Amino acid sequence: MPALDGWDFLDLFKMITKNLTKKIEVYIISSSVEPEIDFSLYPFVKCFISKSSTLQFFKMLNLELAERKTNRLSITLKC
């Protein structure tokens, strides 16, 4: 059994984000269909992705991340 779950991690990560010099975006992938958590409490969470997502979605995600690395304009994911 892990010491903490993903939701506990979000709480702990929220505490350290104010001390970070670089903005970190978090993408959550879960089998939960509808999470019982208010993501507005975690501004660093970019997107919640259901494990039932399609291959096309992950291709779009990969494209966006690749474009960010080259500082090109990025597409907008519909999360």
27 close to 46: Cβ distance less than 8 angstroms: yes
48 close to 28: Cβ distance less than 8 angstroms: yes
pTM above 0.75, yes or no: no
How buried is residue 12: exposed, middle or buried, by Cβ count under 10 Å (0-12/13-18/19+)? exposed
User: Which domain covers residue 11, as residue numbers?
Assistant: 6-69
Give yes or no for residue 69 having a pLDDT over 70.
no
- pLDDT, residue 33, reads 60
Q: Is residue 77 a part of any domain in this protein?
A: no
Q: Cα separation of 79 and 76, whole Å?
A: 9
Q: Is residue 74 a part of any domain in this protein?
A: no
Q: Is residue 26 a part of any domain in this protein?
A: yes
The tokens describing 50, both together, are 């259901």
- Residue 28 backbone phi and psi in degrees, to 5: -100, 125
Q: Is residue 65 a part of any domain in this protein?
A: yes
How many structural domains compose the chain? 1
Give the tens place of pLDDT for each residue, 38-66.
878 888 988 777 776 677 777 877 887 77
